[in-house]
Amino acid sequence: MNRTSPEAIDAALARNPRDVAALIGKADHLAAGGDVRGASAFYLQAVRVASSVAVAPELRPEVARAQAACDHIASRIESELRQDLAQHGLDEGAASQRFRESLDILFGHRRPYVQQPQYYFFPGLPQIQFYDRASFPWLDAVEAATPAIRAEMLAVMRDPAALQPYVRSDPSRPPSGQAGMADNPDWSAFYLWKDGTPVPGNAQRCPRTLEALAGVPFPRVRGRMPSILFSVLRPGAHIPAHNGFINTRLICHLPLAVPPGCLFRVGNDTREWVEGKAWVFDDTIEHEAWNRSAETRVVLLFELWRPELTEKEKAMVTAMFEAIDAHGIGRAAWSV
C-alpha cells in the first residue's frame, strides 16, 4: 500500500497528470477503499504513461505491479461478467459467434481488424473475416468435385516448370512490399485463368476443375478479373501478413493437399485447412499463412463477387475499372 497521503497524491497529479508514481499511488488508495474500477483506471493509465516515457529504474517494479493489478482486475471482471451472462441464459453455447468474439475483443484476447484494401475501397460493406458458407450455395458442388480437381492438380505438380512465383517483381513498378516473397518459388501458382482470361494451355489441362466452378459468381472485368489458380506453399514457407487490393470481391480456398501444420490467419481468426472443405474470406483484412510441415500445401484459389453488392453496383464497379484501363489513368497491378 502506498504510504503517501491521498491529498499529496492528488496535489502531485494536479501538477503533473502523467506522474507515474502518483497514478499508482492513487490507484492503491482507491483499491484499498473498494473502488475496483477506479483503481483499474489509474493502474492502466500508469502503465500507458510508463510505456511512453523513460521510467526510473527504482519505479519499474511498481509499474510491473500496476500491470499485474490491471490483469488481475480485468480477469476478475471478466469472470464475473461471464457468470452473470450465463445466469441470463447467454452461456458460451447459446451466444452467437459474433457476440462471443465481441467479448474476446472487450477483454483484450483479440484485436479487431478491418478492411484495408491497397487499391480500391467500396464503403458500407460488412467487416467479415471468414464468411458463413450458407451465403454460397454453390460451395457444395465445388467441394463434391474435390477428387477430380485434386487429380488434375497432381498432374500439374508433376511438371514443376509449369509453376511460377506467386509474387513476381516488375521493374516498371515499385516493390510490392511482400517481404521475402517476390520471385520466391516457395509461394508459387499455376494459373488456369489470369487477369480475366484463360491461360493458354493451362486451362485445357484442368477441364474438370473449370467445370466444377461453373456456378461461381466470378467478377468479370476485362484485363483484371477473374483469376483461378492452384496456390502452392512449399515446406517451411511463411506468407507474411498483408492486405488484398479491392474489397468488392472475396477469395475462396478449396484445400487439395494439406499436410498437418498448415495454418491460415485472417484478422484475429487462425484456422487449419482441411482437404475438401472450402472457405470464403475477405482478403482486404490482414491475413497470412504458414506451412510448418515437410510437405507441400496446395489449394485451389479463386475470386468472387461479394454477395452484398447489387447487380447494379457490380456493373458500376466493372465499368469503373474498365474505364480506368481504357483511359490509361494508371492501372495498378494486382493479383488475387
> What does the pLDDT read at residue 146?
98
Higher pLDDT pick, 51 / 302: 302
- The yes-or-no verdict on residue 327 having pLDDT over 90 is no
> What does the pLDDT read at residue 104?
87
- The yes-or-no verdict on residue 335 having pLDDT over 70 is no
- The yes-or-no verdict on residue 1 having pLDDT over 60 is no
Amino acid identity of 256? L
Higher pLDDT pick, 89 / 78: 78
Q: What pLDDT, in 10s, does the model give residues 115-155? A: 999 999 999 999 999 999 999 999 999 999 999 999 999 99
What stretch of H or E contains 119?
A: none
Separation between Cα atoms, residue 240 and residue 257, nearest integer Å: 21
- The yes-or-no verdict on residue 109 having pLDDT over 90 is no
**Distance of CA 69 to CAs 27, 36, 57, 65, 80, Å?**
10, 10, 19, 6, 17
Provide the pLDDT confidence category of residue 178 given band limits of 50, 70 and 90: low
Residue-range domains of the chain with CATH: 6-87 (1.25.40), 133-326 (2.60.120.330)
Q: Can you read off the three cell numbers belonging to residue 167? A: 509474387
Q: What pLDDT, in 10s, does the model give residues 35-58? A: 988 888 999 999 999 998 888 888
> What does the pLDDT read at residue 125?
97
- The yes-or-no verdict on residue 172 having pLDDT over 80 is no
Closest CA to 246 of 114, 336, 132: 336
Q: Are strands 269-272 and 249-257 parallel, antiparallel or unpaired?
A: unpaired
Number of Cβ within a 10 Å radius of residue 101: 18
pTM over 0.75: yes
> What mean pLDDT, rounded, does the chain reach?
90
For the segment 307-333, the average pLDDT, to the nearest whole number, is 86
Provide CB contacts within 8 A for 232, sequence distance 6+: 157, 163, 187, 188, 189, 190, 296, 297, 298
- The yes-or-no verdict on residue 332 having pLDDT over 60 is no
Q: What pLDDT, in 10s, does the model give residues 252-295? A: 999 999 999 999 999 999 999 999 999 999 999 999 999 999 99
> What does the pLDDT read at residue 193?
97
